[in-house]
Amino acid sequence: MSARVSRSPGEAERTLADRDRRRAMRSRQRTGVVRIAVLTSLIVLAGAWALAHAQSPTYMHGPGARGDGGMMLSLLLRSANLTPEQEAKVRETLTARRAASGALIDQLRQAQRELADRVFAPGNLEEADLAPQLQRIASLREQLVQENARVALEVRAILTPEQLARAAQVKDRMRQLHNEMRQLMQPGRS
C-alpha cells in the first residue's frame, strides 16, 4: 500500500511553482545549447565556404573570381580563334603570372587557416580581436583581384579588335545563359 501524502494548499502551490521553474530553466538551457550549436555550425560553414573559394582554381587563372575566372577566360580565348603565335603568347603570360598568383593564394589560405584557428580557440573572442586577420585576408584578396586584372590586360593586348569583339559577344551570351539558368533554379518558377 502506498501512503498518500496530504499537502496543504500552500505547499502544493510551492511544489507546482518549483516544478514550473525547473521546467523553464531546462527549456532555457536547451535553447542556449541549440543556439550555440547553430552559431558554431554557421561559423564552420562560413569558414569552409571561404576556404573553398580561396582554393578554387578560378583564382589561378585569368580575370575575375568566383564563377567567371579561369574557365571563362579559357572559353573566351577559344572563341576568339587565336593564331598559334597568339596562343603561345597567352600561354607564356599565364605561366609567368601563375607564380605570382600562386604565392598570393598560399598566403590567403594560410591567413584563413589562422583565422579559423583563432575563432575555435578557447577563451573569449571579440570582433575587434579578429580585425587584423580580417584586414590581412581582405588585402590578399584585393591583391589577387589586381593580379587577375593585370593578366586580363596582358591577354587583352594580344587580341586583335575582331577577336576582342567576338570574345565580348561570347561573354555576353554566357552571362545571359547564366542568368537564365539562375532564374530556372529559383523556387516557384518554371
Q: What's the whole-number mean pLDDT along residues 29-40? A: 63
Neighbours of 114 (CB within 10 A): 13
- pLDDT per residue as tens digits for the range 85-141: 998 998 998 888 888 888 999 999 999 999 999 999 899 988 899 999 999 999 999
Residue 65 has pLDDT above 80, yes or no: no
157 vs 52 pLDDT, higher one: 157
Q: Is the separation of the CB atoms in 70 and 58 below 8 Å?
A: yes
Neighbours of 119 (CB within 10 A): 16
The pLDDT confidence band at residue 152, using thresholds 50, 70 and 90, is: confident
Q: What is the model's pLDDT at position 13?
A: 72
- CB proximity list for 129: less than 8 A, separation 6 or greater: 118
Query: pTM score > 0.85 for this model?
Result: no
Q: How far is CA 190 from CA 63, 98, 179, 182, 187, in A?
A: 33, 42, 14, 11, 8
Rounded Cα distance between 178 and 174, Å, is 6
